[in-house]
Amino acid sequence: MTFLALTALQTALLAALTAGTIIALYFLKLRHRRVVISSSILWKRVLDERQSHSLWEKLRRIISIAIAITIALLIALALARPEIESLTGKNERVVIVLDSSPTMNTQTAGGRTRWQHALEAAEGLLATGGPTTEFRVIDTAGSTASAFTTDRNEVRRLLEEMTPKTADPHFPKVDATGSQIYFVSDGVTLHTTPSSVKRISVYEPAENVGITAFEIRSIPSTPLGYEAYLEIQNFGRPAEVGVVLSGTGGQRINRTVRLETEQIYKDVFDLSQFSGGGVRATIQSKDDALGLDDVAFAYLPIKRKTRTLLVTRGNQFLETLLKLDGYVDLTVVDPAGYRESPTIDAYIFDRFAPPSPPARPALIIGTPAAPWLKPVTGDVRKPEIATWSEKHPVMQYVSVHDVSIERASRIDPSGLTVIAASKQTPLIVASEKPKWVMLTFDLQSSDFPFHVGFPVFIENVLTWFSREQLALKRSPGIVDVPLAESQIRTIDGTVVPSTQQLGQTLFETRQPGLYSATQGDQRIHVAVNLANPTFSDVNRSVFKTDRTAATQNYWLRRELWFYMLAAAAVLITIEWFTYHRRMTL
Amino acid sequence: MSTANANITLFDDEFLKKLEYLNIISKRLFAGQLRAERRTRRRGAGLEFADYRQYVAGDDFRYLDWKAYLRLNRLILKLFEEEEDLPIYFFVDSSQSMNYGQPTKLDYARRVAAALCYIGLANLDRVNVISFADGVKTELPPQRGKGRIFKIFRMLTDITPSGETDARTSFKTYCTETRRRGLAVVISDFFDSHGFEAALDILRHFRHDIFVVHIASHEEIDPALRGELLLVDAENNATREITITPSLLTAYKAEYAKYCEAVESYCGKYQLGYVRTTTDFPFEELVLKVFRQGRFLK
């Protein structure tokens, strides 16, 4: 036996002092009250008869003092926090892995979520073990991983701060040597765990219909035409599902569909009647247990003509194309007549560049000489497009693999974003600040204007310059926005705390929503949606049939002082009962 | 406890008037010394006719039955029962154990003795009052006539409780002196370590008609004792440490009842008059009803 609060010597002294005090107090207690009676004849007869026949009478005093000393010693030694290895499990290490998948937000029949049940189970584990038992808490999202500590309160604080995440869950790598690992989970997203792990189930079957996909996409054949794609799946019993698409302008589309178990509903919605802004898709079904996937957001760009100034000595292809574009308000001037205007949204410089960069974005065709542009270092004949970035906004739906170019200029691409390039020189480059896109070849020395992707390319460039873009798609959790130093706001204008990291703005959200990141004139919309069938299928649990998932019997392994105080309380009760009935002294 | 004016509080005038109608009954006939209202075996100048006998010289010829002489021509003398006084001895226990209870047993005993003395005096009996403990403490010479009651009151009020009870020695001391047999009234709690039977045996041996008044205190019958106590015997100051438990109290009560029953059984066995009372029992009711029901008074 060891003592955590006192040394062995201190404990012995405490025990001796306690016992001595109790004995002294006991004899003080036994100073009898003096009472004069008329005659002791009858009392003497009674007492002589009883004492001669009762062993209890002889032992009563000894038993009474033994009980009193036992009670005092139990309390005194409890203060010393004794520990017996065989009873309290010394040096035990417990790792609690909490499944922080979004499915843990699923409500159970009792109205609480699986996550709350998981926290309760973790709390139960904390109540086990001895005083030196070390605990560690880890989640499956990789966002929480505490060190081993004996401070249960610290672990509890950590548990309070933890929430389910939307990051792809994975079972953490934990050194199981000398540790007992408990995995508290609903068994939906993580099906396999190491064999040494004891699993604690918080799974309960639940009804759920979830949005598994929602996005607004442009219609390539229609400039500034958009449609919404919605995908819903039923992961519970057959249900009637109400579907509502609503826009910020008050537009609304209602549908009601009946979905059988595991049935997927897919639909495309025409948004031509919607004005620009946020679009929300919501579904409603009976007894739905997971609200995270019942709503999804997207952003519909606002339709507005781009006031475009084409500066050219004459370019039939461009002029024709831009005049035919219903969303372009075109003005054509020759280089001599160029004047920068605040009413212009975008410039197109055809083999011309002003001496200073314009305040608005510009598409530069050819490699005109200007101080703010890269100087030409040579020519490349018949360059072949070797690489291009399909992810860049200006290249969306554009294929340039078979574009032929007669001649291109060679420039230094440092500091620029190369969108398309041959092995010898970049062919399409872009600059973020000032914002411009440059083709290092002349359209008239290329067949690019004859390709079907050329109008789309021009449309993409103008969109990237000044038109609003579709929202970025993200999942709840830590959201990254590729716009440095930007301010994040919710759809109703509330500022969301954010941090900067590697030129990106990061913010955290647990709920689906539509956010906007603004930095100067730049604005990016971010649609945060769960939209993941893996997370919506809340009944795909291994615990349906896995009988190894069992909760533990905790309370028997509390610290020893707890049982000592409990025993003292019981003895005090017995002593109180017997004392008042004069069984003990 | 006794007080100087205890005679005032012993009982009031109205109660005294009621007492005058009472008469102490003795089961036996004792020879008295003075004429009184009590029958004796002695033939004499009483009013109650007893018998005839032949006249002999020297007889008082006033008692000759002249009608019988005329019919029988013989001198026949009429005999009458002599009416004499009754010697009554009141033995009042004044040991320290009687100084217990509220009111004390001694106070109660004083009042009982005083009442009975008054009844005896009113009937021209010879009343003796003796207080005893471990011996005869005080003794009042025989009193006769109601006028002596105040002397008895004074004697009773002057009794102070002290000493250990030894009734046997006390009675033996008193009875071995030349005394007339009579009615012995013993007023006591009978807490006698030497045994009450031996004491009463002495009185029986001297052929007294015995009447026992057993006085108990409510505090003795149902003591309100709890916890750790040091019991001190009032008579001999003997101490005893004790823990009062409910079972112990029950055992004590049973023992007390058994003790009282033993006293009563003894009295029943030898046909002694016995009345047991407690100090909280109304005194007048005791005298006017209980004693009469017990055929001690008429």
Residues A433-465 have pLDDT tens digits of 788 999 999 988 899 988 888 988 998 898 888
Looking at the structure, do residues A100 and A193 belong to the same domain, yes or no? yes
pLDDT attached to residue B4: 38
Check CB contact of B223 with chain A, cutoff 8 Å: yes
On chain B, the residues whose CB falls within 8 A of the CB of A50 are 248, 251
B224 vs A: CB within 8 A: no
CA distance B262 to chain A (A): 13
What letters, b where the CB count within 10 A reaches 16 and e where it falls short, cover B171-193?
A: bbbbbeeeeebbbbbbbbbbbbe
pLDDT, tens digit, for every residue of B253-298? 999 999 999 999 999 999 888 889 999 888 878 877 767 765 565 5
Predicted local distance difference test score (pLDDT) of residue A548: 47
The answer to whether B186 and B204 are in contact (CB under 8 A) is no
Q: Output the pLDDT for position B268.
A: 92
Same domain, A98 and A139: yes
A52 shares a domain with A174: no
Distance CA A94, CA A114 (A): 21
pLDDT tens digits, A35-78: 889 888 888 888 887 765 566 666 777 888 888 889 999 998 88
Of A250-254, B4-8, B216-220, B283-287, minimum mean pLDDT range:
B4-8
Stated length of chain B: 298
On whether the CB atoms of residues A480 and A314 are closer than 8 A, the answer is no
Average pLDDT score over residue span B50-57: 80
In the stretch 68-127 of chain B, residues with CB closer than 8 A to chain A read 97-101, 105
Among B159, B177, B144, B180, residue whose Cα is nearest residue B113 = B159
Task: Give pTM, 2 decimals.
Answer: 0.48
Share of chain A above pLDDT 90, in %: 27
| Share of residues in chain A with pLDDT > 70 (%) | 92
For residue B183, which of B273, B291, B114 has the smallest C-alpha distance? Answer: B273
Does residue A28 sit at the B interface (CB-CB below 8 Å)?
no
Query: Token pair 């002057």 is at which residue?
Result: B158
Which among B105, B238, B248 has the least Cβ separation from residue A46? Answer: B248
Please indicate, yes or no, if residue A265 is contained in any of the structural domains.
no
A556 and B CB contact within 8 Å:
no
Do both A450 and A311 map to the same domain?
yes
Q: Is B240 on the interface with A (CB under 8 A)?
A: yes
Judge whether A281 lies within some domain.
no
A496 found inside a domain: yes
Q: Which chain A residues touch B102 with a CB distance below 8 Å?
A: none
Do A323 and A420 belong to one domain?
yes
Question: Within an 8 Å CB–CB cutoff, is residue A46 touching chain B?
Answer: yes
User: Where does chain B hold its CATH 3.40.50.410 domain(s)?
Assistant: 6-30+86-221+271-293
Q: With beta carbons less than 8 A apart as the criterion, state whether A228 and A268 touch.
A: yes
Is the pLDDT at B46 greater than 70? The verdict is no
- Inter-chain CB proximity A38 and B217 less than 8 Å: yes
Query: How high is the pLDDT of residue A91?
Result: 61
Retrieve residue A576's tokens: 């109180």
Provide the ipTM: 0.77
Task: Answer for the pair A445, A501: CB distance below 8 angstroms, yes or no.
Answer: no
How many structural domains comprise chain A?
4
Q: Please indicate, yes or no, whether residues A481 and A411 belong to a single structural domain of this protein.
A: no
Q: Are strands A346-350 and A362-365 parallel, antiparallel or unpaired?
A: parallel
Q: Is residue A132 in some structural domain?
A: yes
Q: How far is B253 from chain A (nearest CA, A)?
A: 9
Q: Which of A465, A492, A513 is the last residue of a domain?
A: A465
Among A394, A454, A381, A446, which Cα is nearest to A420's? Answer: A394
Q: Which positions in chain B touch A578 (Cβ < 8 Å)?
A: none
Residue numbers in B near A47 (CB within 8 A): 240, 242, 248
B6: distance to nearest CA of chain A, Å? Answer: 22
The verdict on A425 and A361 lying in the same domain is: yes
pLDDT tens readout for residues A549-573: 444 444 445 677 888 899 999 999 9
Is there a contact between B245 and A36 if contact means CB atoms under 8 Å apart?
A: no
Query: Distance between the two ends of chain A, CA-based, in angstroms?
Result: 33
**Quick check: B164 and B133 in contact, CB under 8 A?**
yes
A359 and A403 together in one domain: yes
The answer to whether residue A433 neighbours chain B at the CB level (below 8 Å) is no
- Domain of residue A418 covers 306-465
| Residue A226 included in any domain | no
Q: Which of residues 245-284 of B touch A (CB under 8 A)?
A: 245-248, 251-252, 255-256, 259
* Pair (A420, A554) in one structural domain: no
A27 touches chain B (CB under 8 A): no
To which CATH superfamily is domain B6-30+86-221+271-293 assigned? von Willebrand factor, type A domain (3.40.50.410)
Considering only CB atoms, which chain B residues are within 8 Å of A46? Answer: 248, 251-252, 255
Distances (CA, A) of B204 to A210, A535, B128, B201: 114, 112, 18, 5
A583 to chain B: which residues are within 8 Å by CB? 245
Q: Which candidate, A345, A360, A393, A376, places its Cα nearest to that of A439?
A: A376
Question: A432 and A314 share a domain?
Answer: yes
